[in-house]
Structure 1
Amino acid sequence: MDHWKVSRPTVGRTIMIVGNGSVAAGAAAIIDAADLVIRFNDCRSRGAGGSRTDIVAVCNTGRPALSMLGGGNWKNSAAVRQASAIWCVRSAAKFESLRSQLAHSHPDLDDLCDDYSSGFRAFAKATGRAFHAVPASIHDHVDTGLRAHDPDPYVVPSSGLIIIAEVLAHWRQPEDRIVLAGFGHAGWEWHPFDAERRYVDALVVQRQLSRLDRSGDQIGSNVAVKAV
């Protein structure tokens, strides 16, 4: 079996955004060696995708939010215990603005716009964690960007794409490297995953970020992954 190592410059951070899809064999050590690791919701990426977790980005509306806030499973999970920050992916104002439209187009999604960010904010405050809510402008920016990639009809972009856009817009420093792992671009039927894949591939071509999962010997302009 191949073993992997990461070589990188001495300046700038490596920010890993780790989705809940499959992760390349041997990637755990690379992910854990990053300067910042962002995971999602119940952090199913832990294990094959390493263990380090600095930020947990949560879907803060509807049933997923209620599931995480209810009981103690999510709050007491290893990833959440390790995280120093909770990010709410969905803008309460943006989702409230979608409520009447979705009541007509997708009446089965009647709870999608119910916002529980206050619960995550309270949890973060009570446990000494930082809290951040992604602004509505990022959702709008992603919607605009997706139009260039011929999306099928969709309800909202995925949490993964929102966080990619948020990091690129507001958190990346000039020398930072943004690396994705666990992004299979598959899941809920009302996310535009095919268009999202094309959107992310375009960002890779533009050297805005790189993919760990799709690497050969090189995963981006600043982070080299080699089999040894």
Structure 2
Amino acid sequence: MIVGNGDVPQGAAAAIDAADLVIRFNDCRSVGKGGTRTDIVAVCNTGRPALSMLGGGRWKTSDAVRQAREIWSVRSGAKFAALRAELAKTHPDLDDFCDDYTAGFEAFAHATGRRHRMIPVETHERLDRDLARFASAPYVVPSSGLVVIADVLSEFVQPGDDVVLAGFGHSGWEWHPFAAERRYVDALVAEGRLRRLGQPQPSDFSQGA
């Protein structure tokens, strides 16, 4: 179960908490209506979101983060460092967007007995190529949610696994390519590689339907 920070269907909590694995994002705003179980927290490890999570202590002591056994950093520090010069010209307001706080999340994970994992930069680069197929408008980076979806499908899924999404409204920050991301996810759903919560499992479809 991959649970974004958007709206989740009514009654979703029980289904989410019953999953074998639950991945949430950043400040885990999905907790509550979207259940409580949290095995992995995937974080934006650059820029203001990262600085906010690592500072002050509220993120570190939240119930979701306390129960998570792994912290995943979504953004490659090297890739974002390479973006800095171009963004300074095209998006000068994003002057701290590429600041890398991966070391802080790694240190936090180590100090609290959790695993820290860096999502491979190749996942992000492959997404950039794939999104071009969906008439993507100019954007800065894919959303963390989409990076994690692509990573799970390429690195972890085994035959017979049921990968389910909840809390993905494909809207938010203006410089994520949300329209293309929706089409990308819809294509994966059509291929039977994942489903949105509330849709039947692939085995429940009538043959030929």
Same fold (TM over 0.5): yes
Given that residues 94 and 136 in structure 1 are in contact (C-alpha distance below 8 angstroms), is that contact kept between their aligned partners in structure 2? yes
Q: CA deviation at 1:219?
A: 3.1
Instruction: Find the aligned partners of 1:50 and 1:41 in 2 and give their Cα distance.
Output: 16
User: What are the superposed Cα offsets for residues 4-52 of structure 1, whole Å, 9 maximum, x if unpaired?
Assistant: xxxxxxxxxxxx0000000000111000000000000000000010000
Query: RMSD of the alignment, in Å?
Result: 1.1
Unaligned runs of 5+ in 1: 1-15
Q: CA deviation at 1:175?
A: 2.0
2:160 pairs with one of 148, 151, 175: 175
Instruction: Find the aligned partners of 2:110 and 2:203 in 1 and give their Cα distance.
Output: 36
- Sequence identity, in percent? 67
Say which SS state the counterpart of residue 87 (structure 1) adopts. strand
Instruction: Find the aligned partners of 1:118 and 1:175 in 2 and give their Cα distance.
Output: 36
**TM-score, L = length of structure 1:** 0.88
Instruction: Find the aligned partners of 1:82 and 1:149 in 2 and give their Cα distance.
Output: 37
> Which has the bigger relative contact order, CA under 8 A and spacing at least 6?
1
**Which has the larger strand fraction?**
1
Instruction: Find the aligned partners of 1:222 and 1:142 in 2 and give their Cα distance.
Output: 28
User: What are the superposed Cα offsets for residues 184-218 of structure 1, whole Å, 9 maximum, x if unpaired?
Assistant: 00100000101100000000001110001xx3xx4
**Pair 1:35–1:222, CA change in 2 (3 A):** farther
* Corresponding pairs, count: 205
Q: Which contiguous aligned blocks of 4+ residues in structure 1 show a shift greater than 3 angstroms?
A: none
**Which has the larger helix fraction?**
2
**What amino acid is the match of 2:89?**
H
Instruction: Find the aligned partners of 1:171 and 1:107 in 2 and give their Cα distance.
Output: 37
**Pair 1:45–1:137, CA change in 2 (3 A):** same
User: What are the superposed Cα offsets for residues 43-90 of structure 1, whole Å, 9 maximum, x if unpaired?
Assistant: 000001000000000000001000000011000000000100000011
1:93 pairs with one of 69, 78, 91: 78
Say which SS state the counterpart of residue 36 (structure 1) adopts. coil
User: 2:141 maps to which residue?
Assistant: 156
**TM-score, L = length of structure 2:** 0.96
Unaligned runs of 5+ in 2: none
Matched, 1:107 2:88: no
Given that residues 23 and 48 in structure 1 are in contact (C-alpha distance below 8 angstroms), is that contact kept between their aligned partners in structure 2? yes
Q: CA deviation at 1:222?
A: 4.5
